[in-house]
Amino acid sequence: MNSLTPNEWNEVSALFEEALSLSPSALPLFLKVLGEEKPHYQKELLSLLRSHDEARDFLETPIGLNLTEILAVDPSEYFSMGEETGDFEILEVLGKGSFATVYLARQLSLNRQVALKVSANVGKEALTMASLEHDNIVRVFSESVVEERQLRLICMQYVSGTTLEKILSHPPQRDVSSGAAFLKAIDHLTTSPTAFDASAIKDREYLSSLDLVGTVAYLGLRLSSALAFAHKRGVLHMDVKPGNILISPYGRPYLTDFNISVNNLRPEESDANYFGGTLEYMAPEHLNAFKLNLTEALPQIDQRADIFALGKVLKEVLKWLTNPTSQTNTIELERILNKCTENKAEDRFADGASLSQALRGCLEQRSILENLPPPGRITHWAAKHPFATLLTLILVPQVCGSLINIAYNSIRIVNHLSTHQQEVFRSLIPYWNLFIFSVGTLILVPKLRPIASFFNRPSNERTGSPEFLKHLRKQVLDYPLWLAAVITLCWGAASLFWPLSLYLLAGMNDSHVTLHFLISFLLSGSIALTYSFLYTQFIGLRVLYPSLWSGCADIRATAKEELKTVGSRFNFFYLLAGFIPLTGALLLVFVGPEELNSTAYDTYRALLFALIGLGMMGFVFALKAGRDIAATFHTLLDL
């Protein structure tokens, strides 16, 4: 009777319907004809018609009797306290979900406390259980079925403490650091007995010292490393949410409930498990999977759905801890969390490992900015107006160089020229300066523009792709070299222009004058070059460079690579800053003031005074900036 195929059954259904529509007198004939054509259908039909007559009210009243009582009884109380089932003694209820209850139990054979998750063993085949050994993943020890009661038991590591979900619904204490507020919430919510763990005490100490960004990053780092661990083994969690994150009394987070997770390596076994998840933390592509059929949806969901969920969770923690009156800068952290929760999976971090890296980068960048030496007046001003400061610090040494140049020329060159030559010389000075300053500016300013426009943005928009920032860092570091080249070119051009133009326009043909022109421009040019180089390199490294690290995963290593030659550059130019003006002064003294008239003698004295003063300043600068730069290096490279 039960051997009918669905097709045969459909035929029987049609016959049954036809039979019922017939008048009682026509039925016997119908059955007779059927019996001749299809005897086995006739038999089936007869038995159904008989049953139909008997059935009458059968099932007509929808079930309802006692339904209320069934529903009112809590079916999640599978066991009573103290009851033993298999290897477990039930101790107490730790938590209840819609379809499962978690008990604290003692595993008798090993005499240890475990968490026992009990659910009805119905519906789908056993779900994929991932047993992952990681410090921040709740270990699954075993899975078993109590046959006679159709219950599924999952034996897991017992983490006393509480869940992140409970912490987030508990208002944080405001008058302590974020890390301490987090710990206080844990203490307040932890009721279960806790085994003393001396090694984990350090976690608490560390956590209590953390501020807002530090606390969120602490949780983020541990959870993303747990995800990275699972992802590497082809396991997706698919239901990361505060309720699935346990927090030990020591503040250590544990990811749990990998049981709707999907093993990437064997998707055919666990298709249906893609459809767990909690709406609030579900990535758009995960949500979309509902609309598509499974084979289309499967390849679209990967570890980045977990990244999305973790990003959402961390944003909640950040929101929970944020004190409206605090000034903590969370821009970089928010940038990372926003990247986690991008709508398009390809815009997010590729996996747990790259999220970990980004969070570490964020912490590193913060610790660098915090540990930089306190800003002096110039540093402070440069941080506010980088473009103006840089321009000023480039121009001032040029003007300084020019003044020295003019003074030198007036005492060593002009008196060797004929009146005509002097006239030509003086008439050319404004044109030449206008020309050479314009050329210099035209070359130097455009080169400075990308740096300036970046630092003109409001501080929360000073970010970009890692490549862009790397490019900017390179520009900031290399700009002084470029500047040095341009300055050398300009002053070098002057030392050739003057003897040549005086020769061509006024017939000056004195090798003594030519030599002094060379000395004059070499001296003043070197001074202009050295000081502008030092200032720009100082501002670049001290002010601009440390704030160009947004999104960089490994700051120390990258900085080490990028700063390889910068240190020796500094050392060389410190020396020059003192050495060049003093050499100039020596030279002046050596030649002597004997042949000078009284006006020229005054200039001579002023020049000597300026050169020695510059030399002293150079040493003071080398000493002061040197210490500052050394500390900056120290912080950047973590020496």
Question: How many whole angstroms from its chain centre is CA 33?
Answer: 81
Cα(114)–Cα(158) distance, integer angstroms: 5
- The residue behind tokens 């050398």 is 488
| Position among 43, 209, 269, 290 found at the interface with other proteins (CB under 8 A) | 290
Burial 536-547 (b: 16+ CB within 10 A, else e): bbbbbbbbbbbb
The full DSSP string for 412-438 is: HTGGGS-HHHHHHHHHHHHHHHHHHHH
Nearer to other proteins, 71 or 639 (CB): 71
Cα(319)–Cα(453) distance, integer angstroms: 32
| Position among 56, 125, 171, 175 found at the interface with other proteins (CB under 8 A) | 56
Burial (CB count <10 Å: 0-12, 13-18, 19+), residue 470:
middle
Nearer to other proteins, 51 or 338 (CB): 51
Contact map string, positions 66 to 105, toward other proteins, x by CB under 8 A: xxxxxxxx-x----x----------------xxx------
Angle at which helix 386-412 crosses helix 377-384, to 10 degrees, equals 120
Size of the site for other proteins (CB under 8 A): 59
Angle formed at CA 354 by CA 353 and CA 358, multiple of 5 degrees:
120
Asked whether position 125 contacts other proteins by CB under 8 A, the answer is no
Burial (CB count <10 Å: 0-12, 13-18, 19+), residue 17:
exposed
Asked whether position 30 contacts other proteins by CB under 8 A, the answer is no
For the record, the structure tokens of 369 come out as: 């900015």
Asked whether position 295 contacts other proteins by CB under 8 A, the answer is no
Nearer to other proteins, 45 or 417 (CB): 45
Task: Report the phi/psi class of residue 133: left, alpha or beta, with left for phi > 0 and alpha for psi in -120 to 50.
Answer: beta
| Position among 37, 125, 133, 148 found at the interface with other proteins (CB under 8 A) | 148
Quick check: helix, strand or coil at residue 333? helix
- The residue behind tokens 């789908």 is 124
Minimum CB–partner distance for residue 45 and other proteins (Å): 10
Minimum CB–partner distance for residue 58 and other proteins (Å): 3
Nearer to other proteins, 59 or 198 (CB): 59
Nearer to other proteins, 124 or 564 (CB): 124
Asked whether position 350 contacts other proteins by CB under 8 A, the answer is no
Minimum CB–partner distance for residue 71 and other proteins (Å): 3
Asked whether position 296 contacts other proteins by CB under 8 A, the answer is no
430 to 245, 297, 425: CA distances (angstroms): 75, 75, 10
Minimum CB–partner distance for residue 273 and other proteins (Å): 9
Asked whether position 51 contacts other proteins by CB under 8 A, the answer is yes
| Position among 9, 39, 232, 453 found at the interface with other proteins (CB under 8 A) | 9
Asked whether position 122 contacts other proteins by CB under 8 A, the answer is yes
For the record, the structure tokens of 327 come out as: 């000034």
Minimum CB–partner distance for residue 4 and other proteins (Å): 7
Nearer to other proteins, 72 or 639 (CB): 72
Asked whether position 268 contacts other proteins by CB under 8 A, the answer is no
Minimum CB–partner distance for residue 347 and other proteins (Å): 24
Cα(347)–Cα(304) distance, integer angstroms: 9
Minimum CB–partner distance for residue 143 and other proteins (Å): 19
Stretch that binds other proteins, among 198-206, 288-296, 586-594, 624-632 (CB under 8 A): 288-296
Minimum CB–partner distance for residue 55 and other proteins (Å): 4
Cα(332)–Cα(334) distance, integer angstroms: 5
Minimum CB–partner distance for residue 133 and other proteins (Å): 29
CA torsion through residues 484, 486, 491, 493, sign: positive
Footprint on this chain of other proteins (rule: CB under 8 A): 1-2, 4, 6, 9-10, 13, 16-17, 20, 47-52, 54-73, 75, 80, 97-99, 120, 122-123, 148-150, 272, 274-277, 279, 287, 290-294
